[in-house]
Amino acid sequence: MLAPRKVKHRKQHTGRMKGLATRGNAVSFGHYGLKALEPGWISSRQIEAVRVAITRKVRKHGKMWIRIFPDKPITKKPAETRMGKGKGAPEYWVAVVKPGRILFEVEVTNEEQAKEAFSTAAHKLPIKTKIVARREVGA
């Protein structure tokens, strides 16, 4: 599973997910991309599940890129613990995703393969997504 090797601060504030993605909102590497339509947190386990699903469909016929990385620690207090006594210990890592962000990209021979791979991948994610094709510069 993905997790940062080293972080400046062990615990982070929850934060907000206002607005649209201004970076990472275009297909840069492959021919097709999976685009987020709503904001949310995507955990490292979910990213791994999607990676496995896409790899199974694409195999040797294409290439895949993961465009998100879980760099936000989510803390949790133990069950049946009284209030107070500080913030809980980091439990897992998430990637903060805003609408418009390209999550995954693939480079395959035909569009049908990409649609099939991304439709199975979309079922593993907690947010709504859509498949987008690369826009050629000057077209």
pLDDT tier, 62 (very low <50, low <70, confident <90, very high otherwise): very high
- Residue 65, C-beta contacts closer than 8 angstroms, at least 6 positions apart: 29, 30, 104, 105, 106
pTM, two decimal places: 0.93
Tell me the average pLDDT of the chain. Answer: 95
Question: Is the pLDDT reported for residue 138 higher than 90?
Answer: no
Q: What is the mean pLDDT of residues 5-20?
A: 96
Task: Identify which of 38, 68, 36, 39 has the alpha carbon closest to the alpha carbon of residue 51.
Answer: 68
DSSP per position, 94-136: EEEE-TT-EEEEEE-SSHHHHHHHHHHHHTTSSS-EEEEEPPP
Amino acid at 110: N
pLDDT in tens, 100-110: 999 999 999 98
pLDDT value for 137: 64
pLDDT value for 135: 82
